[in-house]
Chain A
Amino acid sequence: MNNLDDLRAIWHSAKTEDLPSSKEMMQMVRAFRFQKLRNKWIVISLSIVFASLLVGVLIVTPFKMVSTYIGGGMIILADLWILISNIRSLKRFNQLEDCSNLEFLSFIEKTRQNQHYYYKNTLVKVVLLCSVGLGIYLFEPLHQHLLWLIGAYAAIIVYYGLLWFVVRPRSFARNQNKLDAMARHLNNMAGQLK
């Protein structure tokens, strides 16, 4: 059984009859084609809808204070930031399919670095921009009702506090573990090809 021809004969004896037929595969393809990058598509679609809505509100509503437009602009900017980084990521995934294993390993490593940068930098700037923007944006509609103003700002502070000090560190730790495992896996495999 040590002879390569023997091994080839054994190798080709693997049963492949259980594989789905081409028609079944077509059905699966249709059902699953968007599932893989579904989360990215959801984020992109929601970002576009939200940005369009806010632009509409800023155009249609005759706000008196410049701060409202500045706040709204900051929220739209944060939204567009998320949109662009997700579109770039999607574009990178779409360009991926015709590359060798070695190129693929460096692509995955680059993606890992991008994800790390996203959590460490992009997300921080986006949340900061969005929370400050929201605070400024809400000033005009609430400034004549002190209680509403205090209540709204308290709610914003609590919400972003939770997001910042509870949700983000947990999510970061969870993703960091995955990314570290991926880094070890990639380093190991890249080393095998040297």
Chain B
Amino acid sequence: MPDFEEIYKRYAPQIFRVCLGYTNDADQAKDLVQETFIAVWKGLPGFRNQSQISTWIFRIATNHCLRALEVAKRMPSAELPFNLADKEEESPEEKLSLLYRCIAELDETDRIIISLELEGLPQAEIAAVIGISSGNVRVKIHRIKDKLAQKLKVYEQFR
């Protein structure tokens, strides 16, 4: 059986980024990471390698995200262009913040799919986490990328 501490060290940053992609709120994302690893700790003795451990952990994390009814958004999206308008060059933090804001405007399940894709999970694994076919995941990722590109383009117009 894999060791909990090793699992935590390996997956906690990934889970945090996915939860942050869903919530766009660092504190809420940390809470979700904590809930996820409490569930992992409880479920680890019964984990029978029927799926990859990463699939299992991402399933737990994304299910906890979906259960969060009220998800905070740091800033209403409509205000964003005015706040960024006077900046000449975006810092890495601003780019990251912009990316998270754009993701936060997507539908809940789209947020999860694009977060897993950006995290680098293979599409077959994303399909296993979400519960839809790989073909469906591919189509969805294509559409989500288009939506995201459009949102980023809109924000960049205001710069």
Contact with A along B119-154 (1 / 0, CB 8 A): 110000000111110000000000001001100110
User: Interface residues, chain B, CB within 8 Å of chain A?
Assistant: 4-5, 8-9, 12-13, 16-17, 20-21, 26, 30, 33-35, 37-39, 41-43, 47, 50-51, 56, 59-60, 62-63, 66-67, 69, 92, 95-96, 98-99, 107-110, 112, 118-120, 128-132, 145, 148-149, 152-153, 156
A61 at the interface (CB under 8 A from B): no
Q: A104-B59, A185-B69 are in contact. List 6 more A-B contacts (CB 8 A).
A: A11-B96, A28-B38, A33-B38, A98-B51, A189-B107, A193-B109
B147 → chain A closest CB, angstroms:
12
In whole angstroms, how far apart are the Cα atoms of A62 and B43 in the complex? 48
A28 to B31, CA, bound (A): 11
CB proximity of A38 to chain B, nearest CB, Å: 13
Chain A residues within 8 Å of B145, by CB:
4
A29 touches B92 (CB 8 A): no
Known interface pairs A36-B38, A98-B43; A7-B108 also in contact (CB < 8 Å) = no
Question: Given that A1-B152, A7-B99 are known contacts, is A108 also in contact with B67, CB under 8 Å in the complex?
Answer: yes
Chain A: interface residue count, which band?
35 or more
Question: Smallest distance from the beta carbon of A36 to chain B beta carbons, Å?
Answer: 7
Q: Give the chain B neighbours of A105 by CB distance below 8 A.
A: 66
Contact with B along A1-28 (1 / 0, CB 8 A): 1101001101111101011101101101
Cβ–Cβ contact B43 & A28, under 8 A: no
Top 6 A-B residue pairs of the complex, sorted by shortest distance between their CB atoms? A100-B131, A102-B131, A16-B13, A11-B118, A22-B5, A192-B109
- Cβ contact within 8 Å between B129 and A100: yes
Q: Confirm or deny: A99 has a beta carbon within 8 angstroms of a beta carbon on chain B.
A: yes
* Contact between chains at B8 and A98 (CB < 8 Å): no
- Does A25 contact B43, Cβ atoms closer than 8 Å? no
Q: Tell whether, in the assembled complex, residue A29 and residue B62 are in contact, meaning their CB atoms are under 8 Å apart.
A: no
Is A11 a contact of B34 with CB atoms below 8 Å?
no
B66 to chain A, nearest CB (A): 6
Kindly list chain B residues whose C-beta atoms are within 8 Å of the C-beta of A172. Answer: none
Contact in complex: B156, A19 (CB < 8 Å): no
Is A25's CB under 8 angstroms from B37's CB?
Answer: yes
CB pair B38–A29 under 8 Å, yes or no, is: yes
Q: Is the CB of A182 within 8 A of B69?
A: yes
- Cβ A1 vs Cβ B156 within 8 A: yes
B130 x A193 contact (CB < 8 A): yes
- For this complex, 15 residue pairs linking A to B, each with C-beta atoms less than 8 Å apart, are A8-B120, A10-B95, A11-B118, A11-B119, A14-B17, A19-B13, A22-B4, A22-B12, A32-B34, A33-B38, A97-B42, A97-B60, A102-B132, A185-B69, A189-B109
